[in-house]
Amino acid sequence: MLRRTVAAVVGSKPLAAVGQAFPPARALAAQFVAGDTLGEALPVVKSLVADGFLVTMDVLGEAVETAAAAEKNSTEYLDLLQWLAAERLTDAVEVSLKLSAVGQALPDGDGLSGEHARLICAAAHGIGSAVTLDMEDHTTTDLTLGTWRSLLPDYPRTAAVLQARLFRTPDDLNELAVDGRRIRLCKGAYTEPAEIAHRRSRDVDKAYVRGLKQLFAADAYPMIATHDSRLIEIAQELAARAGREPGSYEFQFLYGVAAKDQERLRDAGERVRLYLPYGTEWYRYFSRRLIERPANLGLMLRALGRRRP
C-alpha cells in the first residue's frame, strides 16, 4: 500500500518536473548516479574496478519519444564501449541497456530498438564486454525477451532480467534458464497490477527464493540482484548446495545501496557487480529508488521543505 502511494506521488508528472529541476533532489540522486557525463563517471568506475568490483554501466534515459533520441542514446552506448576498450576495462565492465532508451516504446519501436540493441551487442562483443537487457514494466516483457532470444545466437553473453514479482517468472525460468545463459533475477522495480504480480513483499520474497532455486538447479549463470541480506544468505546456501564455485554466479547491487554488504561479499571471494548509471536523465531512475525505500522520499521531501524561507 505504502509502495503504491509513494509510486503515485513520485511518479506523478508535476513532481517529476520539479524533482528533475531541483538541485537538492539532484544532490540526493548523486548517491545512486555516477555523474551527468561519461567524463564524470570515469573516476567512479575506475575506482570501483580498482577496489575489486565488477561493474555494469547504464546510460540514463528511458522511454524516449523520438527516433532521434533513440539514436542519440544508442550512440552514447557505442561511445561508452569504445571508451571502455581504450581504458582496458572490458574484463570488468559491461553495460546495461533499457530497450525503451533506444526506441522500444515508439510506434513500431520493437524493430528499431532491436536494431540498436544489435549494434550495441556487436560493439560489446567486439571488445570482450557484454550487454544486459534491463527489464521494464510487464507490458514490455515479451518484447524484451523476444529481442534477447534474437540476439543470443550471435551474442550468447547477452543477459536478460527476470522479475520475481511477476507470476509468469517461474515459467520463463523453466524455458529460458538453459545453455549457460546469463540471467539477472531481481524483485521487480515497477508497480504492477494484482492480476499478474505479487503485491505483498513477503510473497515477492518467497517468489524470489523459488526463482533462486530454479536458477541454481538449471544450466544457467545466476546474477543475483538484490540488497536483501536474507535472500543473499539463501543464495549463498543454494550455491554451496549446488556445488557452485564463486565465479559460476555473481551478486549484483545498485551503486550507492548496501555498501557494507557489497564489500563483505567481495572480501569473501564472491563476484560482485555494481550497477552504475550516469547521465542527465536521472529522475525516473531515482524515483524507483524512492519507491523501493520510502525513507529516501522523506529525505527528498525534507529537502523540498527547506527550500522555502
Ligand X SMILES: Cc1cc2nc3c(=O)[nH]c(=O)nc-3n(C[C@H](O)[C@H](O)[C@H](O)COP(=O)(O)OP(=O)(O)OC[C@H]3O[C@@H](n4cnc5c(N)ncnc54)[C@H](O)[C@@H]3O)c2cc1C
Query: Which residues are known catalytic residues?
Result: 134, 184
Nearer Cβ to ligand X, position 82 or 201? 201
Instruction: State which of residues 73, 100, 140, 252 lies at the interface with ligand X (CB under 6 A).
Output: 252
| CA atoms within 13 A of residue 253's CA, in its CB half-sphere | 24
Instruction: Count the neighbouring beta carbons within 10 Å of the beta carbon of residue 156.
Output: 13
Asked if 93 is part of the footprint of ligand X (rule: CB under 6 A), the reply reads no
Instruction: State which of residues 177, 212, 225, 300 lies at the interface with ligand X (CB under 6 A).
Output: 225
Asked if 228 is part of the footprint of ligand X (rule: CB under 6 A), the reply reads yes
Instruction: State which of residues 35, 296, 297, 300 lies at the interface with ligand X (CB under 6 A).
Output: 296
The least distance separating ligand X from the CB of residue 120, rounded to whole angstroms, comes to 16
* Number of residues lying near ligand X (CB under 6 A): 23
Dist CA 236 CA 251 (whole Å)? 10
Which CA distances in Å does 195 have to 138, 162, 191, 202?
Answer: 11, 18, 12, 17
Q: With residue 144 as reference, give the H or E element that holds it.
A: helix 141-151
Instruction: State which of residues 129, 141, 163, 214 lies at the interface with ligand X (CB under 6 A).
Output: 163
The least distance separating ligand X from the CB of residue 114, rounded to whole angstroms, comes to 18
The least distance separating ligand X from the CB of residue 86, rounded to whole angstroms, comes to 25
- End-to-end C-alpha distance for the chain, whole angstroms: 33
Asked if 297 is part of the footprint of ligand X (rule: CB under 6 A), the reply reads no
Interface with ligand X in residues 185-214 (CB under 6 A): 186-190
Asked if 148 is part of the footprint of ligand X (rule: CB under 6 A), the reply reads no
Dist CA 81 CA 219 (whole Å)? 29
Nearest to 277 by CA among 265, 268, 286: 286
Q: Which three cell numbers stand for residue 120?
A: 550495441
Pairing of strands 272-278, 131-133: unpaired
Asked if 254 is part of the footprint of ligand X (rule: CB under 6 A), the reply reads yes
| CB within 8 Å of 112: residues ≥ 6 apart | 67, 70, 102, 103, 104, 106
The least distance separating ligand X from the CB of residue 52, rounded to whole angstroms, comes to 17
Asked if 226 is part of the footprint of ligand X (rule: CB under 6 A), the reply reads yes
What are the backbone dihedrals phi and psi of residue 292, each rounded to the nearest 5 degrees, phi first?
-65, -30
Which CA distances in Å does 11 have to 8, 47, 89, 225?
Answer: 5, 33, 35, 23
Nearer Cβ to ligand X, position 46 or 293? 293
Of 3-11, 139-147, 212-220, 250-258: span binding ligand X (CB under 6 A) = 250-258
Q: Are 173 and 217 in contact (CB under 8 A)?
A: no
Nearer Cβ to ligand X, position 11 or 67? 11
Q: Are 274 and 58 in contact (CB under 8 A)?
A: no
The least distance separating ligand X from the CB of residue 150, rounded to whole angstroms, comes to 19
The least distance separating ligand X from the CB of residue 190, rounded to whole angstroms, comes to 6
Of 37-45, 82-90, 118-126, 221-229: span binding ligand X (CB under 6 A) = 221-229
Nearer Cβ to ligand X, position 253 or 282? 253
Give the binding site for ligand X (CB under 6 A): 134-135, 161, 163, 186-190, 225-228, 252-254, 257-258, 275, 289, 292-293, 296
